Amino acid sequence: LGFAWIGLKSEVLPPPSNLEYSFIQICTLNWTWSPPENISSSCDLEYSSDIVIGEVPQDKRSRFRVTDMFLNEEMHFKVRSECKHNNASKPSQWAEKSLPLKGIPGTAAVDLSCVWHNLEYMVCTWRPGEKASSDTNYTLFYWFDGLKNHKKCSNYSVHQGIFGCIFNLSFPKVTNTYPAISILIRDDSEEIRPVCASKNPTTLVKPATPRQVTLSKINDGIHVEWSQSDTFPKNCLFYEVEYHNGDLDTASIIKVISNDVFFFVDPNSKYTFKVRANPKPECYSSKLYSDWSEEKSIGESSCSCNLLYFILHLLKILILPPIPDPREILKRMFGEQNEDSQVSKKLLGQLIY
């Protein structure tokens, strides 16, 4: 007597329906769909979604409804139904939808780069697309969580083919986390392809150049001090101080966490200092330093003093040559005569014998 095991066929869930998207803000899409019908009450329904940008899958099996968009690359979204912790049902087929591209390929702005200066304003630069016409008038819009509506950047510049725009960007000084900045660059022409980008502002922080650098001599040392930034939270910056002895070409750099430092130095030498600031990694993810402050010097270079002494001594010799000592002249004269008499006696002796 034989037995045959017949496996039960797993039920395939129906897919979600009415997959659509809408714009929440610039560069942000909200995907929505309706749940499948006739789902068993034993199914703990959930959804799995995928997004493909430029044929590259993003965030496999993530469960989201809100996504960033890029606009200059094809964007494809898909979602399916699943029963959580239920092996008796198979996931549904994918419900799919694509975001159509606009504009001509190669006309979108490229090489977008932004720097957040001193937690006060953002400077963004970009180059025109290689196929964009010379009269393309790019416009930058920005938005972040906290703004009711997106804003248009109005302070533009173009230098050697590089576009730039500056807009104010600041948060309360006690802020510990910062929202991502959504940036859209487009042109009014339908031929120019728009481009979106999301920027993490903490990676873009560049402090202002330290100001009011002062040098003071205190006993056998030099005290260097500079003003602190008013825009950064306390203890969120460290500083680098570069210094060198006036007699040497090589410089040294030390790091300090306060806005002053004391050096023990040679009191007879000249020293030159300059300072720059850098965000602390526990506050920001940026690796951008401020520009160096203007160099400040104190003391006199021993090399310069020696050179000055040599020049003065040479001038003294040229203008007032030394007077010969008469005793030395007479000594040389009589010395020469004694040598002549010795030679004469030697010759006379040879003639006699």
Average pLDDT for consecutive 10-residue bins of the chain (353 residues)?
A: 47 88 83 85 84 64 61 79 79 88 90 96 96 92 91 93 94 85 91 91 95 90 91 92 80 91 85 94 94 90 51 60 58 52 44 40
Enter the DSSP assignment of 192: B
Enter the DSSP assignment of 326: H
- CA dist 201 and 181 (Å) reads 7
pTM: 0.72
277-326 confidence digits (pLDDT tens):
999 999 999 999 999 999 999 887 655 445 544 455 556 666 666 666 65
DSSP code per residue over 46-111: EEEEEEEETTEEEEEEE--SEEE--SSS-EEEEEEEEEET-TTEEPPPPEEEEE---SBTT-S-EE
- Give which of 142, 148, 240, 246 is closest to 198, Cα–Cα: 142
pLDDT given for residue 314 in this prediction: 57
Cβ-contact 108, 192 below 8 angstroms? yes
40-70 confidence digits (pLDDT tens):
777 888 888 888 776 665 554 445 577 666 6
Find where tokens 């963004």 sit. 124
